[in-house]
Copies of this chain bind each other. A is one copy, B any other.
Amino acid sequence: MTKNLTRRDFIRAVGGITAMAVSGDLGPDVFAAQKRMFQFPEKDELILLTSRPPNLETPLHHFKKRVTPNKSLFVRWHIANIPTSIDLKEWRLKVGGHTEKELLLSMDELKKFERVTYTAVIQCAGNGRSFFEPKIPGAQWEHGSMGNVTWTGARLRDILNRAGMKSGAIDVSFNGLDTGTLPTVHDFIRSLPADKAMEEDVMVAYEMNGEPLLLLNGYPARLVVPGWYAPYWIKALNEISVWPKRFEGFWMDIAYRIPDNPCACVPPGSTPQKTIPIRRMNTRSLILEPEDGARLSLKKPVRMMGIAFSGGFKIKDVIVSVDGGKNWREAKLGRDEGRYSWIQWFHTWVPSKPGRYGLMARAMNGIGESQPFESLWNPAGYMWNKIEKIGITVE
């Protein structure tokens, strides 16, 4: 019942990174192009962005799988003291605030709620940040702070109903076991509007891909808000509070906010007049095959494949171009895994002339949301979803 076998490994891992940093291998340049692979406990080799707290990016080729294996899933923490040992005998999920009663749920009790399962993309708000021009400070994610996972858990709604949410509830806040190293560091607490919290699909997950959550991904329980960006998906969740007024806090009122306009964007380098919390994911597609810069052979079929997803409205079509956007062809879509999952797409073509080709992919979801040709800049570098374009050479 205790997940702590990795504690020593954690310390060793972080120690190893520190040693690298001291020896100069890890520079302080936040925009550094070269990244180092690193293997944390329970994980594959992933791309190391920061070590304390650990922020690890998944190499692109892992996304060719329909579902992202636990050991390949990216890791993203906000404050330094992350739980490295949790005894389920002691862990409780406290549910209270503006409720009829207070709950203190053990894992056994949590598992007695109706069990729900679906596959959903988890994606960092800053996924793709490194591609914005001008550059934006913060973790320099490429495309790898995302994954597609089959989550299992209890409906948040069922839990809130058990506690008896009182009328007049405005927000519901979520806190996990991570803490800052200094009193001045704001605890990572985030909130959902009460009506969103009561939506059918929001869950408190205790399994990812049929296994208990990994410590690095939020063991023993994390909030899953399918279709919304990952900052809402609080890890190592231990406290849910219902508020009869708007919840206020650094991580809602200052961080993770976007310009309050239809593109969530401002002219590059400028500051928005008004901001709102980031919420639903926009529509994205990725080209996974061939790789950018590949050299391919004349008259041999080229298999293009990739993935596409949206913030809960499925993917209606993906069109691809091999001539930089003049001609487009409908790609074949893979198996439909539900509205929160990504979907694979495939297209094969035969290059008939040598030269450079611009390969593009653009996805559209069920309500007509697609992707822009130009990036939509915002000061925090969120919501990157420009139409994918890679270059290949045919010889």
Which A residues are closer than 8 A to B by beta carbons? 195, 262-263, 265, 274, 280, 282-283, 311, 313, 316-317, 319, 325-330, 364, 366-374, 376, 385, 387
| Whole-angstrom CA separation of A183 from B376 in the bound complex | 50
Q: Quick check: B373 and A370 within 8 Å, CB to CB? A: no
Q: Taking chain A's interface residues, is the majority helix, strand, or loop, or is none over half, making it mixed?
A: loop
Q: Quick check: B369 and A368 within 8 Å, CB to CB? A: yes
Q: Quick check: A313 and B263 within 8 Å, CB to CB? A: yes
B contact residues around A262 at 8 Å (CB): 280, 311, 313, 367, 369
4 residue pairs, one from A and one from B, having the closest CB atoms: A368-B372, A263-B367, A328-B328, A370-B370
B contact residues around A319 at 8 Å (CB): 319, 328
| Whole-angstrom CA separation of A371 from B317 in the bound complex | 12
| Whole-angstrom CA separation of A311 from B261 in the bound complex | 12
Min CB distance A216 to B, Å, is: 32
Q: Which residue of B lies closest to A273 (CB)?
A: B195
B contact residues around A330 at 8 Å (CB): 325-328
| Whole-angstrom CA separation of A263 from B311 in the bound complex | 12
| Whole-angstrom CA separation of A330 from B362 in the bound complex | 13
| Whole-angstrom CA separation of A316 from B375 in the bound complex | 13
B contact residues around A327 at 8 Å (CB): 327-330
Min CB distance A341 to B, Å, is: 18
B contact residues around A316 at 8 Å (CB): 372-373
Q: Quick check: A373 and B326 within 8 Å, CB to CB? A: no
Q: Quick check: A283 and B385 within 8 Å, CB to CB? A: no
Min CB distance A292 to B, Å, is: 21
B contact residues around A325 at 8 Å (CB): 317, 330
| Whole-angstrom CA separation of A364 from B313 in the bound complex | 18
Q: Which residue of B lies closest to A260 (CB)?
A: B195
| Whole-angstrom CA separation of A166 from B9 in the bound complex | 63
B contact residues around A385 at 8 Å (CB): 368
| Whole-angstrom CA separation of A82 from B301 in the bound complex | 67
| Whole-angstrom CA separation of A263 from B376 in the bound complex | 21
Sampled A-B contacts (20; CB under 8 Å) = A262-B280, A262-B367, A262-B369, A316-B372, A316-B373, A317-B325, A317-B373, A326-B330, A327-B327, A327-B328, A327-B330, A328-B328, A364-B370, A366-B373, A368-B369, A368-B370, A368-B372, A368-B373, A368-B387, A370-B370
Q: Quick check: B329 and A329 within 8 Å, CB to CB? A: no
